[in-house]
Amino acid sequence: MKTALVFGSSGLVGSQLVNLLIKSPNYNKIKLFVRSPVKSDNSKIEVIWTDFHNLSNYSNQIQGDDCFYCIGTTKKNSPDKSEYKRVELEIPKEIAQISKLNSVKTFTFISSGYANPKHSGDYLRYKGLVEEELKKLKFDKLGILRPSFLIGDREESRIGEKIGIIIFKILSPIFLGPLKKMKPIQALIVAKAMLNISRNDLTKNTFESNEIVELSKI
């Protein structure tokens, strides 16, 4: 039986992932690292209130078999540039580094389509830089997922994202060949793919949106 570490459990993908982990017979403990108190009656769940400004204080608790990283933000929620950089770049890198030091075997990270460490935009550049760091750490298993627009019920409203999803749905029939990775994708599919990375031996570690769909089925 394994222990799962989940960062971003209240988000669109993270909440779906936690439900899958609860149902999975492979895990007897699921550690949720959260910023706000969360109640759970499930015996598998251990909720760890976390000060993400001082992650080193939690190194003894960031221990387990598989780490699932689902945290993300927007510039609307983090308008301060330094805070945005901290959430998108510094926090995932630090959590990955602590996980590696603690011999966590699998690290699965939600990146973004077109992530590139040399991109002019902060979001895609930070995602690309995190990807680079994860590859350097050489986990036993590494999963980098690059979904397109995520579909699902969010607690927060993102008007621009909703408009984008509608447009992409209309255009979806023309997303063929190399454009397949631009199709919107259900959060549940991404969560299933994350779980499948942890229980399968795969020959690659980076998956575009269309590949995530196939990965969710194995």
DSSP per-residue codes, 85-146? HIIIIIHHHHHHHHHHHTT--EEEEE--TT--TT-SSHHHHHHHHHHHHHHHH--SEEEEEE
pLDDT confidence of residue 159: 58
* CA terminus-to-terminus distance, the chain: 21
Q: Which residues pair with 33 in a beta bridge?
A: 7, 48
**How high is the pLDDT of residue 33?**
98
pTM of the predicted structure, to 2 decimals? 0.88
CATH code, domain carrying 195: 3.40.50.720
Q: Which residues are CB-contacts of 206 (< 8 A; sequence separation ≥ 6)? A: 131, 144, 146
User: Which is nearest to 58 in space by CA: 3, 92, 95?
Assistant: 95
Predicted local confidence at residue 138, as pLDDT? 96
Handedness of CA 118, 85, 81, 110 (dihedral sign): positive
Question: How many domains, in total, are found in the chain?
Answer: 1
Q: What angle do CA 68, 190, 127 make, to 5 degrees?
A: 65
Structural domain including 57 reads 2-215
Rounded average pLDDT per 10-residue block, the chain, 218 residues:
96 96 97 90 95 96 98 73 94 98 98 95 96 98 94 61 56 58 86 96 94 94
What confidence score (pLDDT) does residue 151 get? 87
Predicted pLDDT of residue 156: 54
